[in-house]
Amino acid sequence: MEKWQCGDMAAFEALYLQYESLVLKNAYLITGSKDDAEDVLQEVFLAVWRFRQTFDPAKAKFTTWLKRITVNKCSRKRRQAVDLTSIDKLDFP
């Protein structure tokens, strides 16, 4: 964890390999779509890299932090889908 938080790319890759199936599974269960789950997987690990210094092991387990990011990204994905559906329903002359 310390190496990843210090910007070690090999440590980040190890985290990705260890947790990608967990994130993908949770994202699929939430979104119900394989394509959306794969998009969320990418977004989650971009956030994991970008915000690595905000993770505090004294406050939460890594998996808890990771699941919270996953849920947030899935919620954002659903809102975007609803917004696009609303636009599709607009009736233009």
Give the number of other Cβ atoms within 10 Å of residue 78's Cβ. Answer: 14
pTM score:
0.80
63-69: long-range contacts (C-beta < 8 A, 24 or more apart)? 63/19, 63/22, 66/19, 66/22, 66/23, 67/26, 69/44
For residue 32, being part of any structural domain is answered with: yes
Residue 20 sits in a domain of what CATH number?
1.10.1740.10
DSSP SS3 for 18: helix
Q: pLDDT in tens for each of the 93 residues of the chain?
A: 899 999 999 999 999 999 999 999 999 999 999 999 999 999 999 999 999 999 999 999 999 999 999 999 998 876 665 545 555 555 555
- In a 3-state reduction of DSSP, which class is residue 92? coil
Asked whether residue 69 is assigned to any structural domain, the reply reads yes
In a domain, 36, yes or no: yes
Structural domain boundaries, residue 50: 2-87
92 part of a folded domain = no
Q: How many domains does the chain have?
A: 1
Q: Is residue 93 part of a domain?
A: no
